[in-house]
Amino acid sequence: MIKARSGLLGMTALLLCCTLSGCWSSSPVEDLNLETGIAMDIAEESLQEEQINRKGGDYPKKELITGTFQFIIPEESGGSNTSSPQAKKFFNITETGDSIFEMIREISLRTNRPPIGQHLKTIIISSSLLQKIPLYELLDFSLGDNDIRLSVQLLISTDKAGNTLQEKIPGQIPAYILKDIFQNRKRNARLIKPVALAKVIGPMKGERSFILPNVITAENEIKLAGAGIIKGKTQTYGGYLKESEVEGLMWIKGQLAGGVLKSSDPQTGKNIAYEIKAVKSRIKANVQGDDISFQVKMTSEGRVSEVFNKKENLRSNDVLGQEESIFQERVNSLAEQTVAKMQKLQADVGGFGEALRIQHPKVWRKVKEDWDTTFSTIPVRFSTDIHIEDYGSSITTAD
């Protein structure tokens, strides 16, 4: 009995060792090309590709897409790492073709380390490419590949997407910078929520319009500026929301995590700034016969953080009410401009269709087939209630 029990314990221990062995059959990290970013542009062969093709390194393909693939430079194993903190930590390879999957595999002929997508963080697609090829075609490989996580963040660029993966800050990896900028949403009201691959599956299958954060490039800098619209029916690029229109959209959807609302006093012309602490929004769909309209109610709490006119008692009830009214009018104006742009582009990216579907499902079933077009003529009204909780400690009152 004791021997049998000992044998059973031995077998159990052996099985546990097998399950805890981790990556015993995998290659060491330093022997892999860890992919961190992919940028897609309209086909434009690089100088290296032209030279390779002239020397017989081409293969059957259509020149549709130029992909810029970013990889981490692995640190040497063993010994001390003496590299400078500002040393370049990544390298890019460009490949032009008509299949993302084939392009990645073709890279295996240009480097001794096989590419692997388990560390991919960002995918950036140029708006010009999205005018020619639908989003679902460009993402088909990424959504189906087992190595790529659905948490990968998706961006659009009205510039050349490959430029966003060029070095901007010495010692940092561009794909990581793009991912981490979204941590600043509490500081800026013009930054939309990050969009992961998992979040676009539903809108693509449901043929609903949605937005992607837009990144632009300068000589030595990148900036997340505005948003690009993906049209529901075609899944192609449908237009651009500038920063102030994104700000209005964030108020409409109640998705602000913080930031600043700036306006000016109509009597003095001086700027005043409101620091956003909390925002809520509710979209109400109204239906009367065949007529549809929407009422958007937005509420916010915050503080006045900057005032250029300090000649009056800023804490008096009259001044407080005036400032709240100024900010409320500003929010309504931003929201109205945003809806006007959406209706001009015939793309509901504000959640109005979703509100109608939930509140009036029978009506929604009648209009959902061509909702973006229908939405372009529907009236939308706004009301905002802003509550100023306090002022910055540096603000002084009149003598």
What is the spatial distance between Cα 56 and Cα 253, in angstroms, rounded to a whole number? 54
What is the spatial distance between Cα 298 and Cα 254, in angstroms, rounded to a whole number? 7
What is the spatial distance between Cα 310 and Cα 360, in angstroms, rounded to a whole number? 50
What is the arithmetic mean of pLDDT over 337-348? 98
Tokens of 33: 């090309």
What is the spatial distance between Cα 67 and Cα 141, in angstroms, rounded to a whole number? 13
Whether the Cβ atoms of residue 227 and residue 212 lie closer than 8 Å to each other? yes
What is the arithmetic mean of pLDDT over 263-289? 92
pLDDT of the residue at 26: 57
Give me the residues paired with residue 97 across strands. Answer: 65
What is the arithmetic mean of pLDDT over 216-225? 91
By percentage, how much of the chain surpasses pLDDT 70? 84
The pTM score is: 0.86
- pLDDT tens-digit readout, 246-267: 999 999 999 999 999 999 888 8
pLDDT of the residue at 30: 59
pLDDT of the residue at 59: 77
- pLDDT tens-digit readout, 155-204: 999 999 999 999 888 889 999 999 999 999 999 999 999 999 999 999 99
Residue 385 reports pLDDT greater than 60: yes
Residue 380 reports pLDDT greater than 70: yes
Q: How far is CA 87 from CA 91, 168, 170, in A?
A: 12, 13, 7
Give the pLDDT band (50/70/90) at residue 384. Answer: very high
Q: How far is CA 336 from CA 244, 297, 302, 376, in A?
A: 11, 13, 22, 13
Tokens of 56: 């017989």
Residue of 246, 307, 251, 240 lying closest to 279 (CA atoms)? 251
Q: Which of 62-66, 80-84, 118-122, 233-237 shows the lowest mean pLDDT across its residues?
A: 80-84
pLDDT of the residue at 188: 95
pLDDT of the residue at 211: 98
